[in-house]
Homo-oligomer: A and B are copies of this chain.
């Protein structure tokens, strides 16, 4: 992954001796392997010989050499040399029958602000806008005298040009275009290497390891260029099962629903979190099965063996610095490997059938990052994960979809959720209105639908694109300081929930002038007590909800409870924190349901719906009552069982014009040379 300096000690010479030795060993011991292109960090000689290959940072400083992920994505020298290396590797190892997939670079990310990037940005803009007048209009560039006379005047928005604190810019449209451009540029490096490989190897799937909600890349655009999605899952000690499930679902969505690879996970603690807590016994296994349940066809680890030196030397590994077979972590990985060797083939290739679609949108992410209005705690992925949670707690499957999902595909869902979907690009208004008109149930939240594709406010009243479908208007938005008493109360009169749900961050003041009915109203120490906070609207054959405030968990749960009830979607009620997830295998006519206890204590569950199912892991037939061990996993296969979570079935479009899929569920096959 990071052995470019070893493989190519200087421009004129490649040295595959070590890599040959490693591959020979893998083959001899019948390991499958994923081969990285080793372009995740420049060798020193490139930085020395071609200064354009290094990055210039947000502060305007050209870097010299060091760290990793340090190549300018628009450097002609970098692109030429990286492509050449990828081709050489494909030429040499592409025909190896133990090769499973290609892995380009590593966790592609970061941004560059150099003059090469500036020049490429201007070309990108000219292609997009055609004329400088069109750009000025789109960017609302008259603001603060930013009207450009020529594309040549445009600079990357950094700390010595148009940047404000935190990688924002005066013109948010410029900032967002630069983020799009840099995302495209990084993807361009992927495409360069991918195409170089394809010249020698037409067969093996090609991937790069993604990072769930990573801010720097629009993964929905990336997914379209990747044969198989792979990603790195490093939950924090405080990551909830729901948050982690969301990330898997997002990655599956980026891959258009296809199974993905869990490219990296850690057998034990990380070395880079604020507090690198040990991964307690069983947790790694439970979370590995969670990955499989949500669509992973592999379970892989970083790292096989702890390094003796370098920044990551204390990162968890299958084989620790102690190097012994009797250690806890090694034992857990070996045991899980045994289970997957025995049962993994049965798990591979499953599909998820979800009644709920949830939109995630990198443009909305960037819009949120660039806005100057919201309090600091308003974080786009966090808002999305919070709205995902009430579905997850009900064990209702969710597909994460892009804003430009095909209308026919969307019609396969009963519920569409668009939390804080700030940027409503062309077509979204019509897509949503069509979905609801045809009977769908839609949920928008405060900050959804506000901006057009250039991050300009949609005039005429909030929430802009969704005002008509939601049948209301949000006249003002209050920002809530910590500690202020703002609540929403559901119901009214005697039915009113007297305490209500606490509001944080943002409270929208709603006028019901479009036909919507109130579901909840404000209470507390604010002048807008009694003003509607959550509304519901009939639109065509369907229903649209608008949650005008950032609610607490109970408040979100109340809204989603109403949404799923109205949509006729039901889940499985399980004791907290037991997760139930089903993967379907159409070719076998079989479904597998994974039941995972995320607690470090045993959890009892009476009257489960699994009575009579065969337990895949131990072959027993499950009774009505279960006792799940700490971090225990069980579950069963069922044919023809009533599946209460997928009443209306979505069309699963198997993509066939891709290289062959990963065909076996493997664990711990990563050989990492850093």
Contacts and interface: CB of A to CB of B under 8 A. Distances in A.
A66 B162 contact: yes
Copies per complex of this chain: 3
A68 B170 contact: yes
Contact of A479 (B173, B277, B375, B455): B277
A144 B274 contact: no
Contacts of A462: 321-322
A171 interface: yes
Contacts of A40: 144-145
A591 interface: no
A269 interface: yes
Interface in A51-88: 57, 59-68
B275 A145 contact: no
Given A145-B3, A149-B10, A457 B306 contact: yes
A438 interface: no
Contact of A143 (B309, B375, B457, B460): B309
Contact of A268 (B59, B324, B476): B476
A434 interface: no
Given A308-B456, A479-B277, A67 B142 contact: no
A513 to B, nearest CB: 9
Given A144-B310, A322-B462, A323-B460, A162 B65 contact: yes
B323 A479 contact: no
Interface size bucket, A side? Answer: 35 or more
Interface string A252-284: 000000000000000011011011111011000
A38 B162 contact: no
Given A68-B170, A269-B479, A321-B462, A146 B306 contact: no
A473 B43 CA distance: 38
Interface of A: 2-6, 9-10, 38, 40-45, 47-48, 57, 59-68, 139-140, 142-149, 152-153, 155, 157, 159-164, 169-173, 237, 268-269, 271-272, 274-278, 280-281, 306-314, 320-324, 327-329, 371-373, 375-376, 454-457, 459-462, 473, 475-481, 527, 600, 673-674
10 contacts: A5-B145, A6-B142, A41-B146, A44-B146, A61-B160, A67-B163, A237-B481, A269-B479, A309-B457, A327-B475
